[in-house]
Structure 1
Amino acid sequence: MIVVTGGAGFIGSNLIKALNERGERNILLVDNLLNGRKMHNLADLDIADYLDKEQFIKKLDSPCFLNQVRGVFHQGACSATTEWDGRFVMENNYDYSKRILHWCIAKNTPFLYASSASVYGSGEHGFRVERACEKPINMYAYSKFQFDQYVRKILPETRIQIAGFRYFNVYGPREQHKGAMSSTAFHFNRQLIEQKKARLFEGIDGFANGEQKRDFVYVGDVVDVNLWFFDHPEQRGIFNVGTGRAETFNQVAEAVIDWHGEGEIEYIPFPDHLKGAYQSYTQADISGLRQAGYQKEFLTVKQGVAKYLDWLNGAAGN
């Protein structure tokens, strides 16, 4: 069996879709469906079983629970960068991850998990997978950073595959349930449909209007990286997962406008609550990924947004 935590979420459901396309059906999906709208991510997926996250945590203590596990894709987390309840975030992102990691070690099971590029904070020291570059600026980022630190300590002490992926700005199908945390491509598409305008933040941190830059990575590429490591269990460590390119929010908006063939950009004041807790620039250093052997090229914003909007506005619907 393959376990996917956060399997009803954005990246988790795309992972299950890709596993299905490889012929995998013996999948345990772990999630919290308090937000029942996430079921729309699951309607076309085939799994063997579903467990609520709380039930899964309780069963981890049972020595007979899932003795034959081929791998765990741990994607489940509180992903809200605006959540400042530190106890809640650490319980869901740090403690939960540690429990699963130690269960995988005991079962001799590969553990592939979601980290985050948010650990780099403002990015003033670069985006290399090095302690000197890491300075989280919100609670979500700190929880991911601290688990990476824990993994660094554990890696030399175990032989199982442990691979952590620092996702940069992921966008693509099956993110509609995330609300405000959905990608800018998702929001720009909705705004153009409803208002004929894509609304971007005005400049901040020395950047002109809409010229803040992020490393935007298509979810299909993120899934491909996960599956490549699953197929190469000898590869261990923490890796950046981005395109290695920084592209502007203006470029994302322009790609959405190009797809629709109409619309314009409107700039709005930068929100006060994001000041000091916002990444105005990210660009993944993917040298570690290349050194590990992953050589596939990543989609550009123009390519990825076009593919995404074909899905979002096409047969898959809203």
Structure 2
Amino acid sequence: MTDRLRVVVAAPFPEDDLTELRRREPRVDLVYEPELLHAPGVEWQQAKRREPAEQARFEALVDTADALLGAPDSSGKGLARTVAANPRLRWVQTIQAGGGQIVRAARLPDEARERIVFTTSAGAYSQPLAEFALFGVLAGGRRLGILTAAQRRHEWAPRLVMPAAADQTVAVVGLGSIGRASAQKLALLGYHVVGVHRRQVDAEGVERIEPVERLADVAAQADAIVLALPGTPATEKLLSREVLARVKPGATVVNVGRGTTVDEPALIEALQDGRVGFAALDVFSAEPLAADSPLWDMPQVVIAPHTAGVDGHEPRVVAELFAENARRLLDGEPLLNVVDPHEFY
């Protein structure tokens, strides 16, 4: 253990949030040069384009860190360069909840993955994403797509059956922090929530947990499917063409995890033929979503451009999480949200 920790802030943060970080853990020596980073705001996770001289300054700065708040340039390439150049680096916390994918993209040698602890900001975005999941399930059950289409036609459409929450089952696929928060909110409204997860976990509001191998069976009985999965090789296209072939007719699909977890062409087909009645999508297989994607013009689809997790408070929550992890590191305690060095989440 050491008495102090030199932390280079590699992402833009409001000064008030960094002040709070220092207050919570005064043993950190924060180094922050905001001119090398773009102004904090909605796009705070994106890297700034720097002139060569600025880039050299930025790299020299992160190479002096014991710990980094934010992976350099939020990229595997930037992280790999820094890890190779900075032998004193011992901890990196990404500002992304799914920051394990940055670590995976860096293709670090075993020595580096043993020397450095990587943590993510999982949990910082859970509440707004859970609210979007709730919105998507409600919108699907309340036939938002049908109502919107009729409204655009100026048509007083026939009355619709809109099932009560207590008569609907929602499958929440992935019970990490986002999935658990989604399940809790859905259950509080009266939905029957079934979890799909690779192991048994404590999840408030979940009536039972089924293994991932039974996803198709669960989908056949669910009125809505909420995907809250990380993007890993194991989850790629988990909502597959085969699973979509078995969904309950007219089911709602909500994705607040990663776009790679859905077979997007198969989902489009399912929306076109009515197997899926409604979709609320925050993420896509490729972002930005291509301008010629059929999803744009479907009245039964709500598109959020990877913005459902933005509520304006996430930098403060990330800073508070970092302060807690810094305390744990300095006191020799286990850190929160440690990235698995093999599965990268």
Radius of gyration: which is bigger? 2
TM-score clears 0.5: no
Query: Smaller-chain TM-score range?
Result: 0.3 to 0.5
